[in-house]
Structure 1
Amino acid sequence: MTSISLAYCPITVDDVDAAILFYRDGLGLEIVNDVAYDGHRWVSFGFPGQPGLSAVVSDPTAGRSPEDGDALQRLVVKGSGPGPYVFTSDDLDATFERLRASGAEVLQEPIEQGWGAKDCAFRDPAGNHIRINQG
């Protein structure tokens, strides 16, 4: 059988520099690529222990028409964007505290869910819904 894997997940943000602080400093991801082209910027974040997988943040019109970018931006700001984006941490409480200390907007403190998972939730600086599960 042929192997298939996820290469990247695009995340729309309105301020790439603010997103770097959230994803690198708050979540602990590492920048693996930072590319500017034609007035836009794409920053790829790698996941320790998962080579070849990245989250790529960019502004709403990067690779889209201005109309589509504006529509996407309105959805993200309202909290109705393409998320939630769900991450897994081997130490949920430490990850939660690091993100909270960074000033990230807390949506839900760590709790044991009825279905068995322990998780928490934040909004990134652009308004994207980010959930983190205990791994």
Structure 2
Amino acid sequence: MDAMDLKLHQCFIAVDDHDKAIAFYRDVLGLEVRNDVGFEGMRWVTVGSPLQPDVSIVLEPPAASPDFSPADREAMAQLLAKGVLRGVIFTTESCDALYAKVEESGADVLQEPMDQPYGVRDCAFRDPAGNVLRFMERAA
């Protein structure tokens, strides 16, 4: 298999309240909701950018795997509550415009827009579950 054949299809972000997550990812960031599925008391919501129809983010419960023990589930919920689980990095045409819109929503600001020495301008927020999301604009 050639690595050139590989493309990202889905990534996963743990959330503790899907309704709040949908309000943020859809209503604030402008992603489309592509799927909303419940199974055995859990819920998975798939969102994605209209600009990338073949790439999706699955908003899943913490420790969604059936192989997790109750102790593992509790540990994951605690890590999510602390905001230490990794999120994703988005690109945008205007970091400053995106920052203004997300800040206006009341999201938790981690970093205002700034030029980084590695050639991007970026900012960072926490989503409603505490995940760190970064938004970067390539420097001109």
Scaled by the length of structure 2, the TM-score of the pair is 0.88
Instruction: State yes or no: 1:109 paired with 2:99.
Output: no
Alpha-carbon shift at residue 125 of structure 1 (Å): 0.8
Q: Which has the higher strand share?
A: 1
> Which residue is equivalent to 1:7?
9
Gaps of at least 5 residues in structure 2 are none
- Whether contact under 8 Å (2:80, 2:131) holds in the other structure is yes
**Percent same amino acid at aligned positions?**
47
Runs (4+) of structure 1 exceeding 6 A deviation are none
Once the two structures are TM-superposed, the CA of residue 116 in structure 1 deviates from its matched residue by 1.9
- 1:82-114 Cα offsets, whole Å, 9 max, x none, are x14111111222211111111110001111112
Specify the alignment match of 1:60 in structure 2. Answer: 62
SS of residue matched to 2:26 = helix
User: 8 Å contact 1:26–1:95 — kept in the other structure?
Assistant: no
Q: Which residue is equivalent to 2:91?
A: 88
CA RMSD of aligned residues (A): 1.5
> In the aligned structure 2, how far is the partner of 1:69 from the partner of 1:23?
24
Distance change >3 Å, CA 57–CA 84, structure 1 → 2? closer
For 2:49, give the aligned amino acid. Answer: F
Highest CA radius of gyration, 1 or 2?
A: 2
Q: How many residues align?
A: 134
Give distance in 2, aligned partners of 1:85 and 1:76.
14
Structure 1 alignment gaps of length 5 or more: none
Give the letter aligned to residue 92 of structure 2. S
Paired residue secondary structure (1:118): strand
